[in-house]
Amino acid sequence: MKKKRDLIIGLALIVVLLVVLRILEVNISPQSQWAMLLTVLKKGSIYALVAVSMNLLNGFTGLFSLGQAGFMMIGAYTYAIFTIPVDQREMVYMYYDGGIIQFALPAVLGIILAGIAAALFAFLIGIPVLRLKSDYLAIATLGFAEIMKALFQWDSLGPLTNGSNMLRSYPTPASASVIYPFVVSGICIAIIVMLINSTYGRAFKAIRDDEIAAEAMGINLAHHKRIAFTVSSFFAGISGALLAMFQTNVQAKSFNSAMTYEILLIVVIGGIGSVTGSVISSFLFIACSEWLLRFLDEQHVIGDFTVPLLRSGFRKVVFSIIIMVIVLFFRQGIMGTREFSISGIIDKITGKSRKAKREGGNS
Amino acid sequence: MSETVLKVENVTMQFGGVIAVDNMNIVVNKGEIVSMIGPNGAGKTTAFNVITGVYAPSNGAVYFGGKKIVENYPQGKMKKLYKGENNGMYSHSIAPTPDKITQLGIARTFQNIRLFKSQTVFENILIAEHLRRTSNLFTATFHLNMAEEEKMRREADELLEILELSDVRNEMATSLPYGKQRRVEMARALATKPSLLLLDEPAAGMNPQETDELTAFIGRIRNDFGLTIFMIEHHMDLVMEISDRIYVLDFGKTIAEGIPEEIQNNPRVIEAYLGGAVDE
């Protein structure tokens, strides 16, 4: 009964959210100062997906991987390559005689294919690198992402990837409407949450807590790590496709290691091991970096007084300080490993005992 | 009575130039409680790690229920270094990972408790149910296997009930007192439905009263679950009270074997214990 109640409330909230988004979208004109809000919502929802996918690895399976930007790039390229309309290809691939692919898939298929391509790469790269532990795994995955970045810009692959030139003119539904990235990300995050709550998710958490004990419980480490890595990359690939739509163009050099660190920062701020934390912090992070903290990058003059320090790039300094403060004093992030749930809030409001709440959360 | 469950045959474990376990031969029969004692560093835990697949032995084989589950011979670098006996007796390498051993029906606990620290007692037990899953990633994620999920939860709860841990079901596993943590760890091992249970110093760090309770507990789970138990232990009261047979290890070698009375009066055992550091 309680589950049913939560489900109904959850669905109702989703409908309300979508309606609100739609209203915002219709009413905010591109010229108004609130137009940035739509950008934040779009990009935030895309980053939320990749942050949750990274959290599945780092927070729930205990695999410290820094390859997320690389998998996003694979997703973004796959989406772009396969969805550019045939009549546009001659123009996009102008240096490569229109490229080698002469067909176009619908956007939805392109998104799924983006996920599959990223997952395939992850599966293959996972065979050697998942033997590594902690920092070594981080270095190997980061290296992989850099190699992929270089590979995609390689001139010989030009007919496929357009070399170091940008891919564009593909369908961009996520850029046109804020609903689109929200729905796609929402579905993907829901699937990740369902995975985490399944028996496989419990096995992942066991591996995170104690590999040796997990193995003694009959959990095949290699198999489960590979699943987590592949699934995480699948969703990173999908978020890459969404990002490609959002940016309306794709270029390998934008998927640099700084992007991975941004995602890592989101995960850490939100709380390693909390899905809702990652989602909340993606919106916060994107809002700060794209909108609210932009003023730090501009020179401000009040009367005769020029505000010191504020210049291009100062935003990055502030971010670095925020990271240090979080790592030093708020290691748990916003949510720690807790989750934000409807039933939790209702219980809090109606004042049920802690114990009952915990039982409710577990069963 | 004499159906052999576990047989360790000529197992030698050599790390570099150091022989940790030297030509070990152990037989554990069905329904027995067999203990392995010996001073610190005698190679007891190493022997456990060989049986459970954590290490591949340098030489020798392990049989479980009549089936060979582990075998190895000196190869690679060890070929030149090997100083142990029976070189050339084995020519195959069977090196399963620990999870395979667990799936065969050998469960273990650890010397320093290894519970899943961010999870409740119930969740700790529930993880052991994962190895009997029939669902795949897809059906598990989309909850198409609700019947199995419910069965897992029901079985975990039943086990907690039997082992009288229901009252701490929703506590964080590592927030429990030490004795309870040991019991949860054993419960978790039992949740894998083993036929052989390996206990690595179950009474370590326990006071006499907790040790007494543990003694009763081990005897009880042996009977209730039809288990065979092989354990490492330093508490002599516990060992002498519940063991059917005892193996004594010193510097990797088995120096004595027999029923508790024989061991207590064995001069070599007394020498090993009084000569070295007595760990009681």
Per-residue pLDDT of B69-125, as tens digits, reads 999 999 888 888 888 888 889 998 999 999 999 999 999 999 999 999 989 999 999
Distance from CA of A223 to the nearest CA of B (A): 11
List residues of A whose CB lies inside 8 A of any B CB.
Answer: 191, 194-195, 198-200, 202-203, 205-206, 208-210, 212-222, 227, 231, 273, 337, 355, 358-359, 362-363
Helix axes A221-247, A179-196, angle to 10 degrees: 170
- Please report whether residue A188 resides in a domain: yes
Please give chain A's pLDDT, 363 residues, in tens. 567 888 888 888 889 999 998 888 888 877 777 888 888 999 999 999 999 999 999 999 999 999 999 999 999 999 999 999 988 888 888 888 878 888 889 999 999 999 999 999 999 999 999 988 878 999 999 999 999 999 999 888 888 888 888 888 888 887 778 899 999 999 999 999 999 999 999 999 999 999 999 999 999 999 999 999 999 999 999 999 999 999 999 999 899 888 998 899 899 889 888 999 999 999 999 998 888 777 777 777 777 777 777 777 787 788 788 878 888 888 787 777 777 777 777 777 776 544 444 443 333
CB B248 within 8 A of CB B265: no
- Please report whether residue A353 resides in a domain: yes
- Please report whether residue A177 resides in a domain: yes
Distance from CA of A194 to the nearest CA of B (A): 5
In terms of residue numbers, what domain contains A158?
A: 2-28+35-292+333-362
Phi, psi of B250 (to 5 degrees): -145, 130
- The number of distinct structural domains making up chain A is 1
- Please report whether residue A317 resides in a domain: no
List residues of B whose CB lies inside 8 A of any A CB.
Answer: 52, 54, 97-100, 102-103, 107-108, 110, 114-120, 122-123, 126-131, 133, 135, 137, 140-143, 149, 152-153, 170, 188-189, 192
CB A119 within 8 A of CB A236: no
**Fold of the B1-105+194-280 domain:** Rossmann fold (3.40.50)
What is the CB neighbour count within 10 angstroms for residue A310? Answer: 15
- Please report whether residue A315 resides in a domain: no
pTM, full prediction:
0.89
Distance from CA of A310 to the nearest CA of B (A): 43
Nearest CA in chain A to B197: A216
Q: Where are the domains of chain B?
A: 1-105+194-280, 114-193
Alpha carbons A88 and A107: distance in angstroms, whole number: 15
ipTM for the complex?
0.89
Q: What size, in residues, is chain B? A: 280
- Please report whether residue A160 resides in a domain: yes
CB contact under 8 A, B131 and A218: yes
Nearest to A205 by CA among A10, A30, A62, A19: A62
For residue A67, give the 3-state DSSP assignment.
coil
- A313-322, long-range: CB < 8 A, 24+ apart: A315/A289, A318/A293, A319/A265, A319/A289, A322/A269
